[in-house]
Structure 1
Amino acid sequence: MDAPHSPARPRRRALNGVTALVVGTLVAAGLTTPAGANSDHTPSPVGQILGAGGPTVVPESYIVVLRDSAVGGRAGTRQDAVTRLATEVTSRFGVRPDQVWGDALNGFSIRTSEAVARRIAAHPAVAHVEANQTVQPTSTTLSVPWNLDRLDDPLGLDGSYDYQSQGTGVPVYVIDSGILLTHQEFGGQAYFGYNYGGAAVCGPHGTHLAGTIGGTTYGVAKDATLISVKVLDCGTSSTWAGVISGVNWVTGHHQAGTPAVANLALTGSLNTAANMAVTNMIADGVTTAVAAGNSNLNACNYSPSSVPTAITVGATQQNDTRASFSNYGACLDIFAPGISITSASDTSNIATTAISGTSQASAHVAGMAARVLSNNPTWTPAQVASYLNSGSNPVVGNPGTGTPNRLLHMSPLL
Structure 2
Amino acid sequence: MCTARTEQPSHARPKGLAPLQHAKRTKKKSRIAVASAAAFVLIGGTAVGAGALESADTPGPGGSGVGEIRGADAPGTIDGEYIVVMKKTGEEAADSARLKSRTSVRELAGSLLDDADARGAAVQRTYATALKGFTVTADRDEARRLAADPAVAYVEQNRVERGNGTQNDPTWGLDRVDQRDLPLSDSYSYDSEAANVNAYIVDSGIRITHEEFGSRAKYGVDFVDDDAKADDCHGHGTHVAGTVGGATYGVAKSAKLVAVRVLDCENRGTTADVIAGYDWVAKNAVKPAVANVSIGGAATDAKDAAVTGMVEAGVTVAVSAGNSNTDSCQQSPARAPAVLTVAATSDTDARWASSNYGKCVDLFAPGHQVVSAGRASDTASATMTGTSMAAPHVTGAAALYLGAHPTASPSTVTKAMLDASSKSKVTSPGADSPNRLLYSRF
TM > 0.5: yes
Match of 1:185 among 180, 191, 212: 212
Cα distance per residue 1:121-141 (max 9 Å; x no partner): 001111100111111001111
Match of 1:109 among 135, 157, 166: 135
Q: Could you tell me which amino acid in structure 2 is paired with residue 86 of structure 1?
A: A
Match of 2:71 among 37, 40, 51: 51
1:356 aligns with 2:385: yes
Mapping for residues 212-251 of structure 1, pairs under 5 Å: 212-235=243-266, 238-251=269-282
Distance 1:131 1:71 in 2: 23
Cα 1:311–1:236 shift into 2, 3 Å: closer
Mapping for residues 125-140 of structure 1, pairs under 5 Å: 125-140=151-166
Q: Which moved more, 1:97-106 or 1:285-294?
A: 97-106
Q: Could you tell me which amino acid in structure 2 is paired with residue 49 of structure 1?
A: I
Cα distance per residue 1:315-363 (max 9 Å; x no partner): 0001001000000011000000000000111111111110000010000
Asked if the contact 1:37/1:93 (under 8 Å) is kept, the reply is: no
Mapping for residues 20-35 of structure 1, pairs under 5 Å: none
Give the % identical residues.
42
Secondary structure, counterpart of 2:72 in structure 1: coil
Cα 1:295–1:138 shift into 2, 3 Å: same
Distance 1:242 1:119 in 2: 23
Distance 2:64 2:256 in 1: 51
Distance 1:235 1:345 in 2: 15
| 1:410, distance to aligned residue in structure 2 (A) | 2.1
Aligned position for 2:325: 296
Aligned position for 2:45: none
Secondary structure, counterpart of 2:107 in structure 1: helix
Distance 1:149 1:238 in 2: 32
Mapping for residues 314-393 of structure 1, pairs under 5 Å: 314-393=343-422
Aligned position for 2:125: 99
Asked if the contact 2:366/2:390 (under 8 Å) is kept, the reply is: yes
Asked if the contact 2:163/2:267 (under 8 Å) is kept, the reply is: no
| 1:207, distance to aligned residue in structure 2 (A) | 0.2
Asked if the contact 2:297/2:332 (under 8 Å) is kept, the reply is: yes
Distance 1:243 1:359 in 2: 15
| 1:81, distance to aligned residue in structure 2 (A) | 2.6
Asked if the contact 1:265/1:362 (under 8 Å) is kept, the reply is: yes
Aligned position for 1:5: none
Q: Could you tell me which amino acid in structure 2 is paired with residue 287 of structure 1?
A: T
Mapping for residues 147-296 of structure 1, pairs under 5 Å: 147-156=173-182, 157-198=184-225, 200-235=231-266, 238-255=269-286, 258-296=287-325
Cα distance per residue 1:241-278 (max 9 Å; x no partner): 000111111111025xx310000000011111111010
Cα distance per residue 1:340-397 (max 9 Å; x no partner): 0001111111111100000100000000000000000111111111111111112000
| 1:146, distance to aligned residue in structure 2 (A) | 2.9
Distance 2:105 2:88 in 1: 9
Aligned position for 1:33: none
| 1:118, distance to aligned residue in structure 2 (A) | 0.4
| TM-score, normalising length: structure 1 | 0.85
Distance 2:329 2:341 in 1: 10
Secondary structure, counterpart of 2:84 in structure 1: strand
| 1:91, distance to aligned residue in structure 2 (A) | 2.0
| 1:197, distance to aligned residue in structure 2 (A) | 2.5
Cα 1:237–1:387 shift into 2, 3 Å: closer
Q: Could you tell me which amino acid in structure 2 is paired with residue 298 of structure 1?
A: D
Cα 1:67–1:146 shift into 2, 3 Å: same
1:398 aligns with 2:428: yes
Distance 1:79 1:47 in 2: 22
Secondary structure, counterpart of 1:97 in structure 2: strand
Aligned position for 1:10: none
Instruction: Say what the alpha-carbon RMSD is for the aligned residues.
Output: 2.1
Distance 2:102 2:380 in 1: 42
Q: Could you tell me which amino acid in structure 2 is paired with residue 63 of structure 1?
A: I
| TM-score, normalising length: structure 2 | 0.80
| 1:160, distance to aligned residue in structure 2 (A) | 0.5
Secondary structure, counterpart of 2:395 in structure 1: helix
Asked if the contact 2:340/2:363 (under 8 Å) is kept, the reply is: yes
Distance 1:116 1:79 in 2: 21
Secondary structure, counterpart of 1:319 in structure 2: coil
Distance 1:319 1:245 in 2: 38
Name structure 1 gaps, 5 residues minimum.
1-23, 25-35, 73-77
Secondary structure, counterpart of 1:86 in structure 2: helix
Asked if the contact 2:85/2:134 (under 8 Å) is kept, the reply is: yes
Q: Which moved more, 1:83-92 or 1:327-336?
A: 83-92
| 1:200, distance to aligned residue in structure 2 (A) | 2.8
Asked if the contact 1:98/1:111 (under 8 Å) is kept, the reply is: yes
Distance 1:212 1:143 in 2: 17
Q: Which moved more, 1:51-60 or 1:131-140?
A: 51-60
Aligned position for 2:87: 67
Distance 2:344 2:426 in 1: 10
Q: Which moved more, 1:134-143 or 1:314-323?
A: 134-143
Asked if the contact 1:86/1:97 (under 8 Å) is kept, the reply is: yes
Cα 1:342–1:48 shift into 2, 3 Å: same
Secondary structure, counterpart of 1:289 in structure 2: strand
Distance 2:365 2:385 in 1: 12
Distance 1:81 1:203 in 2: 35
1:310 aligns with 2:339: yes
Asked if the contact 1:344/1:351 (under 8 Å) is kept, the reply is: yes
Q: Could you tell me which amino acid in structure 2 is paired with residue 188 of structure 1?
A: S
Cα 1:159–1:350 shift into 2, 3 Å: same
Asked if the contact 1:60/1:113 (under 8 Å) is kept, the reply is: yes
Q: Which moved more, 1:193-202 or 1:130-139?
A: 193-202
1:408 aligns with 2:434: no
The number of equivalent residue pairs is 367
